Structure 1
Amino acid sequence: MAVLAALMLANALAKPAPCGDFQQQKQVPGMHQAFHSSGHYQLQGNTLIWQTLKPFASTLEVSPAGLYQSLPGQVRQQIANGDNPLVASLGTLLAAVMTGDEKALAQHFKVNRQGETLTLVPQDALVAKGISDITVTGQPPHRIRLDEPQGGQTLITLTRGQCQ
């Protein structure tokens, strides 16, 4: 019975958190104070919906079809087209990061696993210009750190929440 309970617990922990809350801290080189934002996220297939509530409301949708932004009282705008191969793969890549899908990540990153931590180093030169590495901690992920070649860093903390 204990083995069955352990297997059920392991299966539950291996499932991605399809939605929840986030806290994001962005450190820009040369700036003394980090930028902070918070809100909700929801993963629907290969589409990530990132709803920022603070410091101001906005919604970003990332999917293979493109990047879309919505601001309160304004019409949803496409800010990047899915015809761009990098944008088209971004939705799939973000879904893979959020779920810890190592197979999908290995197609675009050199993946190193140590316990519950994945370190991802971009294999694509274009991606490497903006991201030097990504560290994903936990399964499902609860902490994501993006390091930039110029010294910037984004730290995202995820907590499971109720899907809306």
Structure 2
Amino acid sequence: MRLNEIKDKHGSRKERLRVGRGIGSGVGKTGGRGGKGQTARTGVAIGGFEGGQMPLHRRLPKRGFNKWRRKDYNEINVGTLQQAIADKRLDAGKPVNLEALIEAGILRRAKDGLRLLGDGEITAKVALTVDHASATARAAIEKAGGTITLIEKKVLPADEAKRKKTAAKKSASGAKKPAGAGEE
């Protein structure tokens, strides 16, 4: 084999289809655009336009919402923790947090925090630092003799004031209702 004989594998490079090159090419005249009219021209973005009829995406009802700045948490089950400790990937004697789990190769990357879920069983005594823990996970860890430390969330003073105002409104509206109201 010589340098001048080296070629790409057949089919690895595909030539661009050159349209509008005459009747013999098979893609001449209209060049794959069909007949005349709006879609034969450039700059057409019809999208959901259905000739004046109410488009499908507007006929269907709206459902739910997408939370703005939604947090994406790493989730781990207590069973997975136990498996990692059994496989000697995680040391139960050291504190377990998000960084320790990534270092051990249990999680791939840090997201917005760590959630502990209660699927599976754990027998090792572990000291965990997480953002959130389900009730079953908390019970399983405490049963095994471990501890869970929840990371404190920063609450802005404005948010706290809004929360108090809402709670006051709810308690006031609950006090106004006469006994037995709404029960039939």
Q: Using CA pairs below 8 Å that are at least 6 residues apart, which structure has the higher relative contact order?
A: 1
The structure number with the bigger radius of gyration is 2
Regarding TM over 0.5, the answer is: no
Q: Tell me which interval the TM-score lies in, with the shorter structure as reference length.
A: under 0.3
TM-score by length of 2: 0.18
| TM-score of the two chains, using structure 1 as the length reference | 0.20
